[in-house]
Amino acid sequence: MAADTVTLEIDDAGVATVTVDRPESLNALNVPTLEALEDALAEAREAEARALVLTGAGEKAFVAGADISYMRDLSTPEAQAYAELGHRIASGLAEFPAPTIAAINGYAFGGGCELAIACDLRVASERATLGQTEVELGIVPGWGGTQRLPRLVGDETARRLIFFGDRVDATDAHEMGLVGEVVAHDQLEDRVAELAGELAAGPRHALAAAKESINAGYEGSREAGLAFERRTWAGLFGTRDQREGMDAFLDKRDPEFE
């Protein structure tokens, strides 16, 4: 692993569990953690994992988002590189050659929400809260959210979530189709293990083919959309609203946008 902030465990059934392990930072994704996450996905693929679970360490967060203190001072080229890194990981989940499950045990905001929706299935703890909150920082979702979210919850629901940066609890997320299942917090690990174990015991090639076929229905326009999103996201760095949004977050105050 590239850092000690991501762990990978593969059990005897072939279930790979990838855990973002920065609970003191609500599992926010800085560059070393993103690189370690990319390495973990590559290692799980190399090991031919039959199912993959993505989750976060601790009791509060799945992944609370990207590292805002790092993002605040990025130039447009640096932001483009950061977007590319996040996209590689989201695409790695979406294109992983076995089913993937997001075990959402707490906050899943911004980039964390984007990684969750890049997974095939989402199971949320009753304590979970999700949201594409980037607009509060003067930017837009930059790791696939503008493309994957509308396909998951429908066009207007996605627009409302992205335009207003709303945070939704697990029950509302389930009702709008953002997550497929909500369970008691102390049952999350067992329920996800049950699903992952069933998938791992299933026909490997058929499941891989089913996933690839489902994805193929989106790929024609999605790639162009994702490329546009990366450019748009990176181009917002250096604007007054981007700086004000991130300064306000770090200063724990309300932003004053143009």
Mean pLDDT of 31-45: 97
E strands, the chain, in order:
6-10, 15-20, 51-56, 61-63, 100-104, 107-109, 121-125, 129-131, 168-169, 181-183
**pLDDT for the residue 186:** 97
Tell me which residue has tokens 């959309």.
Answer: 225
Q: Do the beta carbons of residue 100 and residue 52 sit within 8 Å?
A: yes
Distances in Å between the alpha carbon of 181 and those of 121, 128, 195?
9, 11, 11
Q: Which of the residue ranges 99-103, 124-128, 215-219 would you say has the lowest mean pLDDT?
A: 215-219
**pLDDT for the residue 2:** 46
**pLDDT for the residue 223:** 78
Question: 224 or 163: which carries more pLDDT confidence?
Answer: 163
> pLDDT band at residue 224, thresholds of 50, 70 and 90?
confident
Is residue 255 scored above 70 in pLDDT? Answer: yes
**pLDDT for the residue 209:** 86
Radius of gyration of the chain (CA): 17
> pLDDT band at residue 157, thresholds of 50, 70 and 90?
very high
Question: 230 or 54: which carries more pLDDT confidence?
Answer: 54
Is residue 46 scored above 60 in pLDDT? Answer: yes
Q: Is 214 exposed, middle or buried (0-12, 13-18, 19+ CB in 10 A)?
A: exposed
Catalytic pick from 134, 198, 244, 258?
Answer: 134
For residues 46-56, one letter each, b for 16 or more C-beta atoms within 10 angstroms of the residue's C-beta and e for the rest, the string is: eeebbbbbbbb
Is residue 241 scored above 90 in pLDDT? Answer: no
Angle at 248 (CA atoms; ends 242, 254), nearest 5 degrees: 110
What are 16-25's pLDDT values in tens digits?
999 999 999 9
Is residue 135 scored above 80 in pLDDT? Answer: yes
Q: If DSSP codes are grouped into helix, strand and coil, which group holds residue 217?
A: helix
243 is written with which tokens? 């700086």
Query: Domains in the chain, start-ordered, CATH in brackets?
Result: 6-186 (3.90.226.10)
> pLDDT band at residue 228, thresholds of 50, 70 and 90?
confident
- 114 assigned to active site: yes
Q: Kindly report the pTM of this predicted structure.
A: 0.90
Catalytic pick from 114, 136, 156, 256?
Answer: 114
> pLDDT band at residue 220, thresholds of 50, 70 and 90?
low
- 43 assigned to active site: no
Is residue 1 scored above 60 in pLDDT? Answer: no
**pLDDT for the residue 257:** 84
**pLDDT for the residue 208:** 92
47 is written with which tokens? 């090991």
Element spanning 219, H or E: helix 204-235
What gap in Å lies between CA 73 and CA 50, rounded to an integer? Answer: 40
What are 7-17's pLDDT values in tens digits?
999 999 999 99
Q: Which residues pair with 19 in a beta bridge?
A: 7, 55
